[in-house]
Structure formats: structure tokens, C-alpha cells
Amino acid sequence: MPTDLKLERVTLEPVPVVVVVEKGPPHEVAPRAFERLEAAVGSLSDRKLYGYYSPFTREYKACVALASDADAKGLERETLPGGRYLRTRITGEPPKLYARIAPIFDQMVLAADTKDFERPWIEFYAAPDEVQLLVPIL
């Protein structure tokens, strides 16, 4: 694991979101999911954006925090689960930034001493050049 990977334990509150679902590998379907999400709710600028992948269903979910009921616009609603997570922040320019997400998640899982397989691994798009990766822990 690279020595510059800074990991911290954080506690998150649950986040109500609306989601767009795409089936397939995240690196292939995430861009399409976010395009569909933006088409449904309007500009994603200055919004809290999340993504996560379920390996069990092979579904990637692009999410935006629910700001008002108008955001729902017929989209599926979910709540990203709160609780304890192991977090790291990665920075860089897209699309190279996005290509680093899966390998860094893999490194984080090796470092997590108490993994929680009931909650999703979450990507939080904090800025155009920063993604926070969160792995649930007990």
C-alpha cells in the first residue's frame, strides 16, 4: 500500500439521496449513470454527489443528496447509511482521478481491520478534482 494513502476513521450521518442505476462494471457504467442523473435533476454543479457499486447485483448507483422533493422527479429514493467508515481522499484531474478509485478501494479493504459487508463502499465527489472514498467498518 502506498505510504501516502492517508486513512482516517469517520462517522457519517445517513444521507437521503435520489439514484440512477446502471448495471455493469463501475468504470464502464458510472459516466452514463451520472449523465442520466444530471438529465433528470438538472446541473450537478454545487450538489453533493455520491456513487456506489453493489457487487452482488452488479449495479452502480449515481446519487445526489436530496435537496427538496422536486429533486426526486420520479427517481428512486434511498438513504446512504450512516455509521463508521474508513476514509481517504484522492485528488487529481478526471478521468485519471476516476481510474484510481477501484485500486485504492482495494488497498483500503486490506487496511480495514473490521469490515462491514452490510453497507456499501461510497464515493463522495467533494470537488471536481477530489473524491473521498469510504469503506464501512464496525
CATH superfamily, with its number, for domain 8-136: Regulatory factor, effector binding domain (3.20.80.10)
Sign of CA pseudo-dihedral 18, 65, 120, 27:
positive
Calculate what percentage of the chain has a pLDDT beyond 70.
96
Full-model pTM: 0.91
Count CB atoms within 10 A of the CB of residue 8. Answer: 9
- Is the previous residue joined to 55 through a cis bond, with omega within 30 degrees of 0? no
- pLDDT confidence tier of residue 135, bands split at 50, 70 and 90: very high
Stretch 75-97: mean pLDDT: 95
pLDDT, tens digit (0-9, with 9 covering 90-100), for 7-60 = 999 999 999 999 999 999 998 999 999 999 999 988 999 899 999 988 788 899
Burial 50-70 (b: 16+ CB within 10 A, else e): bbbbeeeeebbbbbbebeeee
Sign of CA pseudo-dihedral 13, 21, 36, 107:
positive
Q: Which candidate, 108, 110, 106, 93, places its Cα nearest to that of 6?
A: 108
Stretch 60-84: mean pLDDT: 87
